[in-house]
Amino acid sequence: MYNKERAVALEAVRSAAVLCRAVQSEITPDVLTKKDRSPVTVADFGAQALICRALAREFRRDPVIGEEDAESLRQPSNEGLLARLVEHVGAVLPGSGEKEICEWIDHGGFGEYSDRFWTLDPIDGTKGFLRKEQYAISLSLIVNGEIVLGVLGCPNLPARMGDPDERGVAFVAQKGGGTVSVSLEGETRPVPVSVSTRVDPTTIRFCESVEKAHSSHDDAARIAKRLGIVADSVRLDSQAKYAVVARGEAEAYLRLPKDDVYREKIWDHAGGAIVVTEAGGRVTDITGAPLNFTGGRTLLNNRGVIVTNGLTHDAIIESIRALDIV
């Protein structure tokens, strides 16, 4: 089941990764100095255009809830940005024009919740992308509120643990079918992925965002202290953290809320969530409740996200309660 969707989604993410790598290769130190976000903007729009084109061609009736729409691209002030976008999309898909590229982007910009829809984050980890570090392309299919398929492309993540020379891996998960990793470069034999079996506090590792604005690092430190965890946290951007937990390089990823107002976006977690759960892990909010993907564009009914190898989950949830974390 969903074999066609799996094949189309993986190929679409691979094509988006080609574009993102090309854009990222053009980032120079002065871009960071000037805080110029145009490279990530081109990559965001370009990746969404390529993926939404593929989905619209094969699954015309499926809405796509994505992060971008093309309204700003149509403004005269963004003529240069649009030209760069056309250039990069055309390098992957020759002959692509402005009008159709904007239409492809809009296919994912105005999607609404339905019994069957896709959710897409074309560039998850903006600052990691600009630093030429970790970012992810996350695509998932949700049916009747349940994630049934996810593809998580990590262009800068080592393909195998301990092998930094070979980078670029996609994690593919189907409900009930497990999680596998494959190269982003092309067809390779899928490698089954599974979470670690560590549970001893002296050996387990947390995985956290590089940016403190995304999660409460102070609360994570309090939890680690209560559990007796001594290892330094693994810090990296984007849903690549889900991938790190899924293949056993960390035991938990904590997305702890910094207030009681913000709600997570569904595209920031859906792809990673199924990758971890199908690898044998567990994903809930900070109360232990399952993530609810029926609330539209946000996880309206959840606060924060806790991702673990399963074995450490209950102890972390209990610590959150004991420490009265918001």
pLDDT digits (tens, 9 = 90+) for 117-173: 999 999 999 889 999 999 999 999 999 999 999 999 999 999 876 677 789 999 999
The reported pLDDT for the residue numbered 67 is: 85
Give mean pLDDT, residues 297-316: 96
pLDDT band for position 30 (cuts 50, 70, 90)? low
Q: Which of 33, 41, 69, 126 is catalytic?
A: 126
The first and second tokens of residue 226, run together, are: 């209560």
The predicted-structure confidence for 71-119, as pLDDT tens digits, reads as follows 989 999 989 999 999 999 999 999 999 999 999 999 998 889 999 999 9
Give the lowest-confidence range in 29-38, 180-189, 195-204, 313-322: 29-38
CATH 3.40.50.720 fits 3-193, yes or no: no
* Domain ranges (residues) in the chain: 3-193, 206-322
Higher pLDDT, 36 or 131: 131
User: Average pLDDT of the chain?
Assistant: 92
Known catalytic membership, residue 126: yes
pLDDT beyond 70 at 212: no
Which pLDDT does position 34 carry in this prediction? 55
Three-state helix/strand/coil letters over the chain: CCHHHHHHHHHHHHHHHHHHHHHHCCCCHHHHHCCCCHHHHHHHHHHHHHHHHHHHHHCCCCCEEECCCCCHHHCHHHHHHHHHHHHHHHHHCCCCCHHHHHHHHHHHHCCCCCCEEEEEEEEECHHHHHCCCCCEEEEEEEECCEEEEEEEEEEEEEEECCEEEEEEEEEEEECCCEEEEEECCCCCCCEEECCCCCCCCCCCCEEECCCHHHCCHHHHHHHHHHHCCCCCCEECCCCHHHHHHHCCCCCEEEECCCCCCCCCEHHHCHHHHHHHHHCCCEEECCCCCCCCCCCCCECCCCCCEEEECCCCHHHHHHHHHHCCCC
Is-catalytic flag, 41? no
Q: Given pLDDT bands bounded at 50, 70 and 90, which one contains residue 33?
A: low
Query: In the prediction, which pLDDT does 208 show?
Result: 84
Of the listed 41, 44, 121, 219, which one is catalytic?
44
Cα Rg, the chain, nearest whole Å: 19
The domain 206-322 having CATH identifier 3.30.230.10: the answer here is: no
Each residue's pLDDT tens digit, 252-280: 999 998 888 889 999 999 999 999 999 99
